[in-house]
Structure 1
Amino acid sequence: MYKQECYKIFMKKSIYFVLAIIVLLLVYVNSLPLDMTMKEELFEELEETWGRPVTEEKVSLAKETMHASDAGAVSNNTFESRATDYVQFLVVSTSMQKEEQSERIRMREGHLVEFANGTYEYREALKERDMLMELGETHGFYLIRSWRGMFELIEPVTSVLLLSALIFIGITPVFAEEYSKRTTDLILATKHGKRKLVSAKIMAVITYIVTVFLSLQLVNSILKIWKFGGAAGWDAPIQGISSGLDSFSFISYDGSQYSFEIWQFFLIILGLQLLACLAVGILVLLLSFLTKNTMLAFFISGVVMAVPVLLQQLGVTRGILGYVANFSYTELMQVSSMFTYFKAYNVFGIPLLYPTLVFTVFAILSGVLVFLIYQLFRKRQVSS
């Protein structure tokens, strides 16, 4: 039964049509020219001089050289000079981010004096201060262009919507087609057909989502490694990922309080977004069962994903609507943006980090939805 359910999902031509469009978009984006890909040997030499955490000596030397370049004392017409200018600009910028981190620590230490011990405000300030202290020396120049490109498939809203479309196309017909073809009655008439059918459909949905998700991530990773000449910087801190002058992405972790190396963070983010996709898949599966109509289930699923984006675009982020935007399936799938800055919620007086809370909420919700699918299908009667 499981193989049959997988076959019914994977045989849909529309899936491969949309998948092909997304892959072509990835190929096109990665073919766009950049002034500096940072895969040239020159950047490896620059990293030896300017790379890794910033120091006062590096910052002072970078400022002196930049001033000389601005004054015309140093030529900036060659590729080497332009690349050096860019790296020095990054060094100076990261030194400012390092100072912002220190200032944030000082501010939080002031809050520890201001707030009473044992209050939520005190615990929140203590948690963020400790996370910032744990970071240590992280800000600096790192050759991590391919890694930043890999994260670009996870974070943007457009990528989330495209991935959601693939989920909708594959899953909305799962129950709806059974009713339209009137094959459900044959299964309902059997002794154990109800539970086995639901289990088979859930397993097929999981298989489909995992296959599509990992396929897209693999294609994107290969394209980024090819474009930027390898996967250098895998052991750099995530604070090295910042939106540079030559980047199409706005993703930036230079102000993040989370202490991860890039390869660790990438695996964590992949795992969490896969779980988010599975949560969306369970919701769509329930809608397919309730509506008994593929188009209606697709439309409702699209509204669920689009409304939070619309609220954010309109600037409606306060009160109940703010919670709707923050605790939505769309935000759940934009998992990488959860780690760009410190955000905690008061849960019984304990500051619970936003990523932990939102995934806990949706894990419970998904469990409830799976239970509902089993219960509602068990009570479904054979039509006359």
Structure 2
Amino acid sequence: MIRLTQFEFYKIMMRKSIFIAIAVLLVFFVLYVFLRHPGLMDGTNYYKPYEGPITTEKVKIAHDQLDKLKYSAENEHKYGVLYDIAVFSPEEIKNTTSYDDRGNIKERTVNVSGIYYNKPWGYLLEYIDQFGVVFMIIMILLGLAPVFAEEYAMGTAALLRSSKRGKGQLVSAKFMASMLYIVVCVVLFTGVNLLVYWLRFGNLAGADTSIQSVGMYFYSFDYEFSPYRFTAIQYYMVQLVTHLIGALIFGFIVLMVSALSSTSFVAMLVNVAIVGVPYLAFDVLNLNPGSMMWIKKFSFSTVVRVTKLFQTPTTYSIFGLELSYLSLYTIVMLLITVGAVFATYRIFRSREVFG
């Protein structure tokens, strides 16, 4: 079984398209980071004079200087610390009302009462959410769409099914090899992401600060209303594990579609439609989902992106039970995953003819 899994993993990794895609995506990611954020990114010296509890005096200084200071790339760090103080000042929090997708007022479980430097974590989290999901979707499609469909196209499926290990162990080996491939892809992108931003900032300061205070310079406080009491590094690990689980779930769906498809091209098109259309419509183009909100809420890209699962304390009433969005999403994905795995075994064992 181990040798069979190794062989299937080798088949996935030796596709030329995999190496080309990895090289292009990682080069594009690195260039994008350096071109979008040129120059030094370390702003610790600007935050040091203000670190600690947000006082009335700090708020007054921040507002006075923000009124005089016009944002530019050159003063991004100075503008950022003043903006952070203004955003999290007690007066601003008291007088600002935010609403979720259903029109309900967002409640703060954790109040940010201090100003701390944690910008490296804001960028690390942001780029798993934005570029990490694109990287993983492309790599999973290229690597896993052909896993079963290729056997049909080459005419080897019937031969494999008639072999000693063709009825069950072969499918298990393909599953394990596919999961290993996904883990390798996640580790690769995460490693590059960490290395790039460690080099850009020169540090990973603020790991012990609350996730609610983490953001990029002067914007993108994605977790300001999060109900979860994580530090930056704790949430980074949660995000990473959830990102991996999401990639595995999508991988199971891709494998099921591959088992149903006559060619790799067909499998690729169907999977692109399943994950790509909702992601493009709701996450990239930001279209109003209207009555299709459930597709946006329970799309496969949501769990790969992670962010929306931990942002706000949204709850749903299901048969009288109050479930958080995270809990409900987990249940739905678990049912889909179990169904996809079971269906893949049945399909590959029984289906003989593909048109």
- TM-score of the aligned structures, taking structure 2 as reference length: 0.86
Distance 2:313 2:39 in 1: 32
Q: 1:271 to 1:100 in 2, by over 3 A?
A: farther
Q: Counterpart of 1:155 in 2: which secondary structure?
A: helix
Say if 1:238 and 1:265, in contact at 8 Å, map to a contact too: yes
Q: 2:267 maps to what in 1?
A: 297
Distance 2:229 2:254 in 1: 35
Q: Deviation at 1:318?
A: 2.8
Say if 1:30 and 1:227, in contact at 8 Å, map to a contact too: no
Q: 1:96 to 1:22 in 2, by over 3 A?
A: farther
Q: 1:100 to 1:266 in 2, by over 3 A?
A: farther
Q: 1:253 to 1:295 in 2, by over 3 A?
A: same
Q: 2:154 maps to what in 1?
A: 181
Amino acid at match of 1:31: F
Amino acid at match of 2:56: E
Q: 1:58 maps to what in 2?
A: 58
Q: Deviation at 1:354?
A: 1.1
Residue 11 of structure 2 is aligned to residue 8 of structure 1: yes
Amino acid at match of 1:282: F
Q: 1:97 to 1:374 in 2, by over 3 A?
A: farther
Within a 5 Å distance, the mapping from 1:52-91 to structure 2 comes to: 52-64=52-64, 69=68, 83-91=77-85
Amino acid at match of 1:62: A
What is the Cα-based RMSD across aligned positions, in Å? Answer: 3.0
- For residue 220 of structure 1, the aligned residue among 193, 207, 212 is 193
| Structure 1 residues without counterparts, runs of 5 or longer | 71-75, 108-123
Q: Deviation at 1:326?
A: 1.2
Q: Deviation at 1:314?
A: 6.6
Residue 25 of structure 2 is aligned to residue 22 of structure 1: yes
- For residue 147 of structure 1, the aligned residue among 95, 117, 121 is 121
Distance 2:80 2:156 in 1: 64
- Spell out, residue by residue over 1:11-35, the C-alpha distance to the aligned partner (whole angstroms, 9 max, x if none): 0011111111111112112322647
Distance 2:190 2:91 in 1: 30
Amino acid at match of 2:338: G
Distance 2:240 2:76 in 1: 35
Q: 1:216 to 1:183 in 2, by over 3 A?
A: same
Say if 1:176 and 1:292, in contact at 8 Å, map to a contact too: yes
Q: 1:54 to 1:14 in 2, by over 3 A?
A: same
Residue 241 of structure 2 is aligned to residue 271 of structure 1: yes
Q: 1:259 maps to what in 2?
A: 229
Within a 5 Å distance, the mapping from 1:150-161 to structure 2 comes to: 150-156=124-130, 159-161=132-134
Percent same amino acid at aligned positions? 27
Residue 282 of structure 2 is aligned to residue 315 of structure 1: no
Residue 208 of structure 2 is aligned to residue 235 of structure 1: yes
| Structure 2 residues without counterparts, runs of 5 or longer | none
Q: Deviation at 1:190?
A: 2.8
Q: Counterpart of 2:129 in 1: which secondary structure?
A: coil
- Spell out, residue by residue over 1:134-163, the C-alpha distance to the aligned partner (whole angstroms, 9 max, x if none): x2x42443222221111122222x542332
Q: 2:326 maps to what in 1?
A: 355
- For residue 296 of structure 2, the aligned residue among 316, 319, 325 is 325
Q: 1:73 maps to what in 2?
A: none
Q: Counterpart of 1:193 in 2: which secondary structure?
A: coil
Say if 1:153 and 1:220, in contact at 8 Å, map to a contact too: yes
Q: Counterpart of 1:346 in 2: which secondary structure?
A: strand
- Spell out, residue by residue over 1:280-328, the C-alpha distance to the aligned partner (whole angstroms, 9 max, x if none): 1111101111012100100111111122135434734233x11112111
- Bigger drift between 343-352 and 83-92 goes to 83-92
Q: Deviation at 1:273?
A: 1.1
Q: 1:188 to 1:308 in 2, by over 3 A?
A: same
Distance 1:324 1:188 in 2: 36
Q: Report the count of equivalent residues.
A: 343
Say if 2:147 and 2:255, in contact at 8 Å, map to a contact too: yes
Amino acid at match of 2:248: L
Q: 1:344 maps to what in 2?
A: 315
Q: Counterpart of 1:345 in 2: which secondary structure?
A: strand
Distance 1:325 1:33 in 2: 28
- Bigger drift between 181-190 and 208-217 goes to 181-190
Q: 1:112 maps to what in 2?
A: none
Q: 2:182 maps to what in 1?
A: 209
Distance 1:284 1:222 in 2: 30
Distance 2:91 2:149 in 1: 52
Distance 2:192 2:50 in 1: 32
Q: Deviation at 1:92?
A: 1.5
- For residue 86 of structure 2, the aligned residue among 92, 98, 104 is 92
